[in-house]
Amino acid sequence: MGNLDLLMHGFGVAITPMHLMLMVGGVLMGLVVGVLPGLGAPNGVSLLIPLTFALDPTSAIILLSSMYWGALFGGSTTSILFNIPGEPSSVATTFDGYPMARKGESTRALTLAFMSAGVGALIGVIVITLLAGWASNFALQFGAPEYFAVYFLAFAAFIGMGSASPAKTLVSLTTGLLLSTVGMDTVTGEIRLTFGLDQLLSGISFLVVVIGLFGIGELLSTVQEGLRFRGVGSKIDLRDVLRTIAELPRYWATTIRSGLIGIWMGITPGGPTAASFMSYGIARQASRKGEAFGTGRPEGIVAPETADHSAGSCAMLPMLALGVPSSATAAVMMGGLMIWGLTPGPMLFATKPDFVWGLIASMYVSNLIGVILVLATVPMFAALLRIPFAIIGPMIVVICFVGAYTVSSASFDLWLVLLFGLVGYLFTKLGYPLAPLVLAMVLGHKAENAFHQSMILSNGSLEIFFSNTLVTSIMLIALALLILPKTLQLGSRLRRKAPVE
């Protein structure tokens, strides 16, 4: 009951003319970000953060989260109409969405995608509403050792449960941790990894790194792949929309199963992309007509879209309650909170209830706004995609450089954007995941400080990380997530290769 009262108070904070305008504007900007290949939600949110400095934190996070939802919706539009996923998490939607659109059922495909996305997001926000109070109360028991254990758990989960190879994930995490240590050590006062450059004394800006990795890096990949837009009809027929909405209850089992997958992958570091692929694969296996997947099956659209948005919503819970982001976009948002002087974690719920519950309430409203706006603006964004990429590409470059320069008005940051754009391109081409790098940059300082404090408390003994039931449990879970998933995969491969007698 307490959570319900707090949620009602949050609606009072969120539903104001100013915040409703921010939600509409954020969703529209997110649609542009999601539609245009080469941007993406993490980069779009990072570009918008400097523009939020004039807003209060509640208004700023509502704008950023609305942009995030819009980006997820926008990626589905291009997946279905052009067979070009605007977001990595929308790749699975192309498998059946584009074939259905090619058959002349683009309205049906889009409506299935957007309504499923709205339901998935609603499932995720309900989970956040129910668990937020419990998660924050639980986290109040944490001290420095427990916080370091949680950060170690986040790193271990990315290595053990990520889709990339553990070695590549470890390289990405290590790179992010090294970047987070550039500048002055807050404990010892020593200067680290500046290589004699005065511009690095204050460290490397998190936003500059993200803009380079996700903006310039993705753009380079897009150019190298020789992008071409080939779309299908995109006119929205209201009668087809209503007919498709009436059809949705048939797929209730797929929706529930995919929503649960999204919840799990959102709270853990799996993320929306892994959730959408996993949900699609399970839907295909569970279908009696599995061979028809890839030809325009409705379940092939409902499954990835529901899981994608459910995971995207649930990724906010560990970020707000524990200060541990489970996706790249959540990590960028957490970086924004820290820039505004807010520390994500259990005390945020106690000291800033208007902020937290206003954000949660805005998720309900902005997702409804997103479904309505995306159906209304599909023809406009489809026309936008027919603009030659030779025009759109330079516009994205300009946006990236302007966003990077506004962080601290330093021309040196522009060189860093180019450098990290190249790093992002190379990481993508070589199969190194970027999300662990972003996570490590955000959590690097916090993990280092928690480790220092733990060592001071224990006189340098690592036994402090197994000194009580809570910290021991977290460390054991972390070690299990680090070792067990890959061990089980290896065992499965060996069994398949073993000769049958």
Asked if the structure places residue 224 within a domain, the reply is: no
**Six-digit token string for 495:** 């069994």
Question: Rounded to an integer, what distance in angstroms lies between the CA atom of residue 475 and that of residue 473?
Answer: 5
Percent pLDDT > 90 in the chain is 2
- Per-residue pLDDT for 230 more than 60? no
Rounded Cα distance between 128 and 359, Å, is 11
> What's the mean pLDDT in 55-84?
78
Encode pLDDT of 419-429 as tens digits: 998 998 898 88
- Between CA 396 and CA 421 the distance in angstroms is 13
Among 12-16, 316-320, 455-459, which is the least confidently predicted range? 316-320
pLDDT of 422 reads: 92
Quick one: pLDDT at residue 402? Answer: 75
pLDDT digits (tens, 9 = 90+) for 319-337: 777 777 766 677 777 777 7
DSSP character for 236?
P
Place of tokens 């993320």: 271
Under the banding of pLDDT at 50, 70 and 90, the label for residue 357 is confident
Domain tally, the chain: 1
Percent of the chain with pLDDT over 70: 81
> Does pLDDT of 213 surpass 70?
yes
In a domain, 97, yes or no: yes
Longest Cα pair distance anywhere in the chain, in angstroms? 72
List beta partners, residue 184: 191
Contact criterion met (CB below 8 Å) for 420 and 212 = yes
In this model, does residue 347 exceed pLDDT 50?
A: yes
Please give the pLDDT value at position 360.
85
Task: List the beta strands (DSSP E) in 116-234.
Answer: 183-184, 191-192
Residue 105 CA to residue 240 CA, distance in Å, equals 9
pLDDT at 162: 64
Distance CA 70, CA 58 (A): 18
Section 441-446 average pLDDT: 78
Which are the contacts of 442, defined by CB distance < 8 A and separation ≥ 6? Answer: 180, 206, 325, 331, 334, 335, 338
pLDDT tens for 156-196 read 877 876 667 888 888 988 998 998 888 877 767 778 888 87
Residues 211 and 401: their CA atoms lie apart, in Å, by 8
What HEC string does 129-147 produce?
HHHHHHHHHHHCCCCHHHH
496 within domain boundaries:
yes
**Structural contact between residues 87 and 385, judged by C-beta atoms closer than 8 angstroms:** no
For 277, residues 6+ apart whose C-beta sits below 8 A from its C-beta are 91, 92, 163, 304
> How far apart are the C-alpha atoms of 341 and 203, rounded to whole Å?
17
Under the banding of pLDDT at 50, 70 and 90, the label for residue 1 is very low
3-state secondary structure of 385: coil
Average pLDDT, the chain: 78
> pTM of the prediction?
0.67
Residue 201's φ and ψ, nearest 5 degrees, are: -60, -35
What pLDDT, on a 0 to 100 scale, did the predictor assign at position 339? 76
Whether 9 is in a domain gets the answer yes
What's the 3-state SS for 305-353? HHHHHHHHHHCHHHHHHHCCCCCHHHHHHHHHHHHCCCCCCHHHHHHCH
**Across 23-27, average pLDDT:** 87
Res. 407 pLDDT band, cuts 50 70 90: low
Residue-number span of the structural domain to which 87 is assigned: 2-163+242-408+468-500
Q: Is residue 145 part of a domain?
A: yes
Q: What is the C-alpha separation between 307 and 349, in angstroms, rounded?
A: 27
List CB contacts of 90: < 8 A, sequence separation 6 or more.
34, 72, 75, 76, 78, 79, 276, 304, 308
Cβ distance 466 to 475 under 8 Å? yes
User: End-to-end distance of the chain based on CA atoms, in angstroms?
Assistant: 61
CA–CA dist 407, 208 (Å, integer): 8
SS3 270: coil
Give, in degrees to the nearest 5, the angle at Cα 335 between 331 and 341. Answer: 145
Examine residue 85 and state whether it is found in any structural domain, yes or no.
yes
Note the pLDDT of residue 175. Answer: 92
Lowest-pLDDT range of 226-230, 233-237, 247-251: 226-230
> What local confidence, expressed as pLDDT, does residue 378 receive?
66
Cα–Cα distance for residue pair 501/486, rounded to 1 Å: 27
Residue 257 included in any domain: yes
Mean pLDDT of 206-218: 75
Residue 341 forms part of a structural domain:
yes
Residue 2: the pLDDT is 63
Residue 120 has pLDDT above 80, yes or no: yes
When mean pLDDT is compared across 38-42, 122-126, 183-187, the lowest value belongs to 38-42
